[in-house]
Amino acid sequence: MNFPRGFLISGIALIMAACGPGHASASSTAFQPEAYGQERGWEEAPREFNEAQRRGFHDGVEGAKRDFGNQRNPDVNNREEYRDPHIERELREVYRESFRRGYEVAASHLWNAPPPPPPVQQPERLDQGRDQDGWGMRGLASDAERQGYREGSEAAHYDWQSQRRPDPDDHEQFRAPRVPPRLVDEYREGFMRGYEVTRSQLAGEPAWQDRGDPGQWAAPQEYSEVERRGFHEGIVGAQKDFGNHRRPNVSNRDEYRQPHVPEELWHDYREGFRRGYEMTAAQLWGGR
């Protein structure tokens, strides 16, 4: 059957009017939030995060955006707010872990970097770390020593993640501690202890409390000959200080300050000496 052309056009107009602009608008509105969520969802912290974790995640995302906008290479360790967070001390590690997570998620979108692996919960390993921290703090009784221990541990984490040579003396917190002058020595001893305990943990070495008699201790397998020498002389140095009723302080040992080895080997010797001294100090001043 043939219909007049005008009738067909009118019929089409009536059908479009029946659909109405409201239907088209609703369809568009339903699409836009979904697209927006797909685009923005990666910027949101996981729902199970607490307030400190959410703040860290958000700051990490923003830090990555700034690096991208300034055409820098992605490197979370270059962010000042990651290295020295402006947050309560007891929340720093939680904040930093979440900051790194947020930064890496953002980097995977902005630079097309590989996405970070999902976080893995390892309660036994974390408990072991806390146990070793408790044991490693033995003999550190003052607030300044314990503050030094915590900040030395953070410095060791930073050096490890940045792949820097281990050197606690090189950190600003050690050279110019934020404590009253009369507490500087106590702070530095705690800093050294925390640094060495954490380095040992990160390297996967056996827990210090399981080592037995210091006279039977062996240096880490990866140590060079000069580091092994420093390790054993550090043990002896701590035993001498304990026998002479001195406070533990590796920096007060002449053989640490001026090692009897070629100057180009001082760094390696001192690294071994610190480890041997601090392991022994934790046992002797902690009452075994």
Q: Write down the pLDDT at residue 78.
A: 83
Q: Write down the pLDDT at residue 53.
A: 86
Q: Write down the pLDDT at residue 64.
A: 92
Q: Report the chain (288 residues): mean pLDDT per 10 consecutive residues.
A: 48 46 38 36 85 90 92 86 80 84 89 60 41 63 85 85 79 86 88 85 72 79 90 92 87 90 92 87 69
Q: How far apart are CA 286 and CA 288, in angstroms?
A: 6
Q: Structure tokens of 100?
A: 């790194």
Q: How many CA atoms lie within 13 A of 32 on its CB side?
A: 6
- Residue 223 in any domain: the answer is yes
- Residue 94 in any domain: the answer is yes
In this structure, is the dihedral angle defined by the CA atoms of residues 228, 233, 236 and 242, taken in order, positive or negative? Answer: negative
- Residue 24 in any domain: the answer is no
Last residue of a domain, one of 120, 139, 171: 120
Question: Do 136 and 269 sit in the same domain of this protein?
Answer: yes
SS3 content of the chain, % helix, strand, coil (to 5): 70, 0, 30
Unique residue bearing structure tokens 């200080």: 241
- Provide the domain count of the chain: 2
Question: Do 114 and 145 sit in the same domain of this protein?
Answer: no
Question: Do 111 and 177 sit in the same domain of this protein?
Answer: no
Question: Do 151 and 261 sit in the same domain of this protein?
Answer: yes
Q: Write down the pLDDT at residue 231.
A: 92
Q: Write down the pLDDT at residue 233.
A: 94
Question: Do 181 and 274 sit in the same domain of this protein?
Answer: yes
Domain that holds residue 254: 123-284
- Residue 26 in any domain: the answer is no
- Residue 15 in any domain: the answer is no
Question: Do 212 and 89 sit in the same domain of this protein?
Answer: no
Q: How far apart are CA 29 and CA 187, in angstroms?
A: 61
Question: Do 165 and 252 sit in the same domain of this protein?
Answer: yes
Question: Do 114 and 164 sit in the same domain of this protein?
Answer: no
Question: Do 130 and 107 sit in the same domain of this protein?
Answer: no
Last residue of a domain, one of 58, 86, 120: 120
- Residue 143 in any domain: the answer is yes
Q: How far apart are CA 22 and CA 164, in angstroms?
A: 63
Last residue of a domain, one of 120, 147, 168: 120
- Residue 92 in any domain: the answer is yes
90-119: b (≥16 Cβ within 10 Å) or e: ebbbbbbebbbbbbbbbbbbeeeeeeeeee
Q: Structure tokens of 153?
A: 């541990």
Q: Write down the pLDDT at residue 116.
A: 55
Q: Write down the pLDDT at residue 266.
A: 92
Question: Do 116 and 225 sit in the same domain of this protein?
Answer: no
Question: Do 153 and 246 sit in the same domain of this protein?
Answer: yes
- Residue 60 in any domain: the answer is yes
Question: Do 257 and 279 sit in the same domain of this protein?
Answer: yes
Q: How far apart are CA 139 and CA 146, in angstroms?
A: 10
Give me the numbers of helices (H) and strands (E) for the chain, helices first please.
Answer: 11, 0
Give the single-character DSSP code of 261: S
Q: Write down the pLDDT at residue 252.
A: 85
Q: How far apart are CA 126 and CA 134, in angstroms?
A: 12
Q: Write down the pLDDT at residue 288.
A: 44
